[in-house]
A and B are shown apart, each in its own frame.
Chain A
Amino acid sequence: MKDKIKWFVFLHIIILMISCSSISSKMAALNMPSIKGLMFYSITVFILGVYAIAWQQVIKHLPLITAYANKAVTTIWGLIWGYFLFHEKITPLKLIGAAVVIFGVYLVVSGDETTDENQEFLEKGADNND
């Protein structure tokens, strides 16, 4: 249980990291073409590289559904960073849209786990263990 919590916290650190890569991507876009823009883009690529490695570890320790459903939280981080760093408005429609997207992602990833094919695979696995 303690291990689960540890990986869950790690998952959210990674999610926060991805949201930061969006900030640097936006900063790069606003500063291109310039050295400063390139620097921000390099940061983006670096974060994405670290994320790719860290994500592999997370999905080894947490169920895919947990990992992907939680990853949708980046939409909320986008709203927060946009508001605080780029003076973007948080409109009710943006908030509702983000919540609907998160719910949709939850349905997609949980629907994935209950497909017939997975069910068959699980049952076969159980038979083989007998």
Chain B
Amino acid sequence: MIKFALIMLTGTFIASVSQIVLKKAAEKEYPSKIAEYLNPMVMGAYVFFFGASLCSMLGYRAVPLSIGPILEATGYIWVAILGKIFLGEKISKKKGLGLVVIIAGIIIASLGAR
């Protein structure tokens, strides 16, 4: 179960990375509307998203459906951390508290899944 939960968590991390890449891509100027979508960064991000959905599916081999979406909430944590590192986004006190609360909720729910 733990192995599969880790696969799912890895998928959530990959999805978060691709969100950051999409955000980075959105900040750039493009010559045309099509180029906004058909450029290496955006296309790469979608390949990552596909990989993430594959990880999620593999995780579900053992992770209960009732726990999957709760584990996926770790995405908020990754996006906050990666956003701070790569986009210079601030983590306010309230946001930081929220991240800790999410982690607490995930731990509580995981204990209930045993």
Contacts and interface: CB of A to CB of B under 8 A. Distances in A.
Interface of A is mostly: helix
Interface residues of A, number: 53
Contacts, number: 159
Contact of B112 (A93, A102, A107, A111): A93
Contact of A104 (B56, B59, B93, B104): B104
Contacts of B66: 78-79, 81-83, 88-90, 94
B95 A101 contact: no
Given A94-B109, A97-B105, A111-B92, A26 B97 contact: no
Residue of A89, A98, A101 with most partner-chain B CB within 10 A:
A101
Contact of B57 (A44, A78, A103): A44
B99 A30 contact: no
Interface of B is mostly: helix
Interface in B63-114: 64-70, 72-73, 76, 80, 89-113
Contacts of A86: 64-65
Interface size class of B (residues with CB under 8 A): 35 or more
A47 to B, nearest CB: 10
Query: Closest 8 CB pairs between A and B?
Result: A97-B109, A93-B112, A107-B98, A111-B95, A100-B105, A111-B94, A82-B66, A104-B101
28 contacts: A25-B60, A72-B73, A74-B69, A75-B70, A75-B109, A82-B65, A82-B67, A93-B108, A93-B112, A94-B66, A96-B108, A100-B104, A100-B109, A101-B109, A103-B105, A104-B102, A106-B98, A108-B80, A108-B98, A109-B98, A110-B94, A111-B92, A111-B94, A111-B96, A112-B92, A114-B92, A115-B95, A116-B92
